[in-house]
């Protein structure tokens, strides 16, 4: 590929998720895919958590952050395949939105 080609992060994430759920992929490759996915998605979470709390409430309404999105963060906390860093980021987002962790 040329150096000017940029990968679509959504497509990259989809490929990593497919690798994680593919029974023909080795455990080592699944682990690497999981780490890359955590890093890819972790960057987005970190950007969101840097906003002031008032701005986050406005963004939540404007961007349509709803119970399903917050439920995804809650699921992250209880998923044994998720890294501790990703769990910490999910906990921070839930805290910022005032959502319980149960």
74 Cα distance to chain centroid: 11
Q: What is the DSSP string of 31-45?
A: HHHHHHHHHHHHHHH
Packing angle of the helix pair 67-78, 84-97 (nearest 10 deg): 140
Stated pTM of the model: 0.39
- On whether residue 67 sits in a domain, the answer given is yes
Query: How confident is the chain (102 residues) per 10-residue block, as mean pLDDT?
Result: 67 85 84 85 50 49 66 89 90 84 75
Instruction: Give how many domains the chain has, as a whole number.
Output: 1
- On whether residue 16 sits in a domain, the answer given is yes
- On whether residue 83 sits in a domain, the answer given is yes
Read off the pLDDT of residues 52-73 as tens digits, 9 standing for 90 and up: 445 445 555 545 567 788 888 8
- On whether residue 57 sits in a domain, the answer given is yes
**pLDDT (0 to 100) of residue 44:** 52
- On whether residue 102 sits in a domain, the answer given is no
Query: Which domain range does residue 46 map to?
Result: 9-97
**pLDDT (0 to 100) of residue 43:** 57
**pLDDT (0 to 100) of residue 63:** 52
DSSP state of 69: H
């Amino acid at each position: 590929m040329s150096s000017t080609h940029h990968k679509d992060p959504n497509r990259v994430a989809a490929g990593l998720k497919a690798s994680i759920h593919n029974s023909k992929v080795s455990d080592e490759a699944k682990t690497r895919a999981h780490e890359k996915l955590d890093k890819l998605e972790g960057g987005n979470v970190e950007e969101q958590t840097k906003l002031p709390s008032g701005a986050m409430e406005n963004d939540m309404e404007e961007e349509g952050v709803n119970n399903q999105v917050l439920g995804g963060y809650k699921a992250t906390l209880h998923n044994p395949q998720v890294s501790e860093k990703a769990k910490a980021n999910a906990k921070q987002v839930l805290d910022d939105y005032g959502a319980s962790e149960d």
